[in-house]
Every structure is written in C-alpha cells, then in structure tokens.
Chains A and B, each alone.
Chain A
Amino acid sequence: MSTTLLLIQILNGLQLGVLLFLIAAGLTLVFGVMGFINLAHGVQYMIGAYLTVWFYGLTGHFMIALILALAAALILGLLLETFIFSHLYDRDHLDQVLATFGVILFLNQAAKVLWGPTPLNMPAPEILAGSFQITENLQYPLWRIAIIAIGLIVALLLWFLVTRTRVGMLVRAGASNAEMVSALGVNIRRLFMVVFGFGAMLAGFAGAIAAPIYSVEPGMGDDLLITAFVVIVIGGIGSIRGAFIAALLVGLVDTLGRSTITDILKLFLEPSAANQIGPALASMAIYVLMAAVLFFKPSGLFPAKGAA
C-alpha cells in the first residue's frame, strides 16, 4: 500500500475516531456519573442526523439546520430523561438495558415511519464542500477535515469544561461519589439532568456533522453505539480523557484494519483464503482489542479516579 493511501486511511480513521468520541463522551459521562447504561444514546445520534437533514430541507441553510437540530436533540434528551430515564437511575443495569432497548425499538421505527426506510443524503455546507489538496495527486474532502477539526475543538472545550469549571468539578465529584455530592447540598438530580441533556446534544451533534458523509437511515446509530461502548470500556468508564484516546485508537484500528488486514494476510496465505478471512478479522479487530484490554486491565486504560 502506498503512503498516500495510508495517509488517507489514517485521516479516515481519525475522522471516525472523532465522531466516536462525540458519542462516547456523553455515554461515558452518563455512565460514570449516574451509573446508567443508556443504549438509546445511539438513537440520539440518528435523531440528530435526521433532524439536520429535515431542517436543511426546510430552511436550505446548514447552520440554521444544525442549530435547530441541536435544540431539538437537547429537548428530546431532556424529555426522555424526565419521563423515563430518571425513574431508572436506582434500578439495576438489566432494567436500564431493557428500557433503553425499548426506546431504541420505538425511535428506530418512528424514524422509519416519519422519513421512510430509504437512506437520505444531504450535501456538506457550501464553503466546506470542496476538496483539500494534500499532496500533488492527493485530494481529501474538506468536510471530513472539518469534522476532525470540529471534534478536536469540542474535545478541548470538554476538557476545559470538565477540569476547569464549577459544573465540571461537580460532574467529576459525581462520578467518584454521587451520594457524597448530594449530601454536600448539590441538587444531584438537576446535575444528572444537565449531564444527560448535554450528552444527548453531543450525540445529536455527531449525527448532524455525520449527515453529509454517511447515509441517514433508521438504525444507523445501533452499530455505532456498540462501537461507542467499546470505546468507553477501553478508555475506562467515566473518563473523558480515556474516551478521547480510546475513540481515536478504535477509529484508527477499525479503519486501518479494514484496509490492511487482507493485504497483510496475503503475504502468508492463499489470496482466496485471505480474501475470506481478512474482512472478518477486520470487523473483529476492535472487539479483540477490547477483550484484550479488559483481560489485562478490567477497568479500562484510564479508570476514573475514585469510581467504584
């Protein structure tokens, strides 16, 4: 494989990693602070994408569509939190898995009913619609570079929010001992709601910026959700830093795996065998990575301090 191709794959891997981070960040906070397994987090990504496409169709402006979609995703997240999820914080993980699975079933089907089963598409915003000339004969879509940049900026903002502000301090405190924070006079339920709404919005945001490059269809969030869970388990539940590093790692491993494993296998296997085994191994790579991490470090690479 040539270096230019490798460069493209690395950029693709980073771009996937950044999207994964946006989803995993909310997931790991909700999980870390409230001990709540939210399978419906992937649906919020899907909703973000659908709403952006829909508002874009109505208004014709990407930025307006994005802002409206974010607001709607936030409202949906808060509604879900108030009416369903807040009743499940004290329940065991199994109940949470089931109830949020119910939310997935409902919202996936609702998206199918509202917007039809055929995948939707939308163009990238005009100023970022072109390609970027990396080397003489290598172009890369500007929007994908924008996604990487946006993701890194959001990561920085999040890091600032979590480590340098009062709310961030409460979130960290909540992650290590929610009861103690509550005893110190903090309205923990409201903190939960803020964290949840914020996480839902981040997932919606990931969906919004992914809408121009992926096809928007019912169930688009399901597989990404599982991958995001892989990310937060590898990174250590509750840790934003862990989620960031693990997201980039998983994005790169997955993308590079898909493009190189078959070629590597061809070096010492029959080409037909390599073509058969390669794709399977590539799809499995991130799960093997997770199993290996869990085997050696059961609480992930960067366990949140003090979390039980």
Chain B
Amino acid sequence: MRNALPALFAFALFAAVPWLSEYWGGSYLTSLAMRAMILAIGAVSLDLLIGHGGMVSFGHAAFLGIGSYVAGIALTEGTTDLTTILALTVGIAALFALVTGVISLRTTGVSFIMITLAFGQMVFFTLSALSDYGGDDGLTLWDRATAFEEDTVLYFSILGALVASWFLITRIVGSRFGRVLRAAKQNEARVETLGYGVFGMRLTAYVIAGVMAAIAGVLLANQAEFVSPATAAWQRSGDLIIVVVLGGMGTRSGAVLGALAFVALEEGLSSLTHDWRLIFGPLLILIVLYAKGGLASLWERRV
C-alpha cells in the first residue's frame, strides 16, 4: 500500500488540475496534464513488459500510433461512436500484438529489442504511407468522438483510463500470472521446469500491454485533435522507455511518476531555453549513472 501512495497522490493532483487551471494556466495546464496522463498509460503498460516481464520493447509507440490512427480514420470517415472506435482499436491492436508477439518472443535480449524496433518502424512507415489520411504530414481531426465532446468529460475519461490501467496492471502483477512472469524474468529455465508455459504468458502480457497503449492512442487522437505518424516513431518508443526507467522499473508508482516528471522536465526546460535538449540529454546521463532504481526508489523501502 505504501508503495502505491505516490501514484495515488499523482492521481489526486491530476484530479485537481481542472480546478487549479481556473487560477493558473487555463487550458494550457489541462492539456499538459492530459498529455502526461496519456504518456503515463503508455508507460504503465510498457512497464508490464520491461519491469515485470523482462521484455525490453523498443517499438511500444507503434501501439499508440495504431490507436490514434484507428480513431483518426474512424472520425474522418464519420464514425464518432466511441464504443465502435474502441472495439476496432482493441481488435486491431490485439491482432497486431498477437502476430508480432509470436514472432518477437522467439528471441530474447538484444534481438528482442531490435525485432520490436523493426515492427515499430513497419507501423511508422505504413502510417506515413496513408496518403488519403495525411501521409507524412499527419491528419487534423475536425470532430472528437461523440462521448468526448465536452472538455471536462474528455479530461476525466483520460484520468479514469489512467487509474483503471494502473489498477489493472497492479492487479495483474500481484496475481499468480504476474508472479510467474516476474519469476521467468529472473530464470526462464526454472520456471519452464516448474511446468509453466513461459511463452504463452509473455505473449499474453505483450497483447495486454499493446491493447492498453493503443487505447492511450485513441485518447491522444481525441485530445490533440490531430494524428501523425511521428507518434509511432522510434524516438517516441525511446521516450516511453525513458519514462519507465526514470520512474523506476517494476515499481508500483514508477511509470506514473516518470510520466509526470518527464512532461514537467520537458515543459520546464523548454520554457527556460529553446535548446532544452542540451540540458535534458546530460540530465538523462546523470540519472542513469547516479540514480539507480528511478524516482520510485526514493520513496519505496529497499528490500
């Protein structure tokens, strides 16, 4: 419970943002908070793979891209019913995760990093080639899904999705399935010998994480009212990994804290100077060199 406190605190903070924004920041603050929450959903799902499953996916942004394009294309074609969009997203993302997962999970370690990168790039180039839907330039959306027409509804739906994703992942990690997944991260051979099908479990985790990130993509399309292939670029997959490690891999609150810190850092530094990457780059190096365990470890008890 103690370990969950930072995440719960972050949720309370997010819940207070619409109220806070009336005093400072206005729609800038709410859209920033929405971006942070969407990033957090992506990171929470990726942490199931990296932190708990030992699967370092370098193509997780592809799922965000898939989700946002399903939403973007559906909205452009006049389908504004959220349930339909979500059903389509879940179906397509699950299928994509299943097919690429079966292939990727044959490999481990560095090969897994590279093969997930390859699938991510394939999605990126496919999205860039959709010339009917903006191609390289992306696609501006003129409608949101019907359910999201009110700004407040959209905001709290994103918050709700974040809390639900976090809760679900927490439950999964605590379950028997999650324990076996973590055991397999430490020693695959032993877990196999105990009679568990590691491949199937990893594949299940991969599909769950992919679908979750795709739903974050749907929210992103509605929030930004714009979809772009850049969402699926390998640099965005790198960002997601940064968020997970920054927050603390395999910890209860890490991914949420990491997303909050990442967006705050990005905004804070870019308000200081246009060349904020000159600061962010070295900061990242220092964090890796000296802050093992991420932000969450500052709070959690060392075991």
What residues of chain A have their CB less than 8 Å away from a CB belonging to chain B? 31, 37, 84, 87-88, 91, 93-95, 97-99, 101-110, 112-113, 222, 226, 229-230, 233, 237, 276-277, 279-280, 283-284, 287-288, 290-291, 294-295, 298-299
Query: Within B79-103, which residues are at the interface with A (CB < 8 Å)?
Result: 103
Known: A108-B277, A295-B103. 9 other contacts (CB 8 A): A84-B289, A94-B245, A99-B284, A101-B284, A106-B278, A222-B235, A276-B131, A284-B122, A294-B106
Bound Cα distance A284, B129 (Å): 11
Does B282 lie at the interface of the complex (its beta carbon under 8 Å from any beta carbon of A)?
A: yes
Q: A101-B238, A298-B111 are in contact. Are A106 and B103 (CB under 8 A)?
A: no
List of B residues within 8 angstroms of A108 by Cβ: 277
Q: Are A284 and B284 in contact (CB-based, < 8 A)?
A: no
Residues in A with CB closer than 8 Å to B115 are 290-291, 294
B275 touches A113 (CB 8 A): yes
Min CB–CB distance B229 → chain A (angstroms)? 10
Other-chain contact of A93, B56, B106, B125, B277 (Cβ < 8 Å):
B56
Report B-chain residues with C-beta under 8 Å of the C-beta of A298. Answer: 106-107, 111
Residues of B within 8 A of A98 (CB): 241-242, 245, 284, 287-288
Q: For the complex of A and B, list the 9 residue pairs with the smallest distance between their C-beta atoms, beginning with the closest.
A: A106-B281, A280-B129, A102-B284, A105-B281, A109-B277, A287-B118, A283-B125, A102-B285, A99-B288
Q: Is the CB of A229 within 8 A of B242?
A: no
Who on chain A is nearest to B239 by CB?
A101
Instruction: Identify which of B114, B278, B287 contacts A229 (C-beta below 8 A).
Output: B114
Interface presence of B119 (CB below 8 A): yes
Residues of the A chain whose Cβ atoms lie less than 8 Å from the Cβ of B297: none
Q: Which residue of chain B lies nearest to A99 when distances are taken between CB atoms in the complex?
A: B288
Residues of A within 8 A of B206 (CB): none
Residues of A contacting B125 with CB < 8 Å? Answer: 280, 283-284
**A88 contacts B288, C-beta separation under 8 Å:** yes
Chain A's closest residue to B109 (CB) is A93
Minimum C-beta distance from A253 to chain B (A):
13
Q: With both chains docked as a complex, state the minimum distance between the C-beta of B186 and any C-beta of chain A, in angstroms.
A: 13
Which of chain B's residues has its CB closest to A298's CB? B107
Q: Which of B130-186 contact A (CB under 8 A)?
A: 131-132
Set of chain B residues within 8 Å of A104, measured between Cβ atoms: 281
Give Cα A291–Cα B100 distance, bound, in whole angstroms.
10
Min CB–CB distance B44 → chain A (angstroms) = 17
- Known contacts A106-B282, A287-B122: A294-B245 contact under CB 8 Å: no
Contacts of B283 in A (CB 8 A): 102
Contact of B275 among A109, A222, A283 (CB under 8 A): A109
The answer to whether B117 and A229 have CB atoms under 8 Å apart is: yes
Give the residue of A88, A101, A112, A284 whose beta carbon is less than 8 angstroms from that of B126: A284
Asked if A93 contacts B118 (CB within 8 A), the reply is no
Cβ-based interface call for B11 (8 A): no
**Beta-carbon contact of B103 and A291 below 8 Å:** yes
- Quote the shortest CB–CB distance from A290 to chain B (angstroms): 5
* Complex interface: chain A residues within 8 A of B56 (CB): 93-94, 97
Q: Which of B50, B121, B122, B278 contacts A226 (CB 8 A)?
A: B121
Contact of A294 with B129 in the complex, beta carbons under 8 Å: no
The residue of chain B having its C-beta at the shortest distance from the C-beta of A276 within the complex is B131
Q: Are B277 and A99 interface neighbours, CB within 8 A?
A: no
Does B204 touch A at the CB level, under 8 Å? no
Cα distance A289–B139 when bound, in Å? 30
Residue of B nearest to A279 (CB): B129
B241 & A97 in contact (Cβ 8 Å cutoff): yes
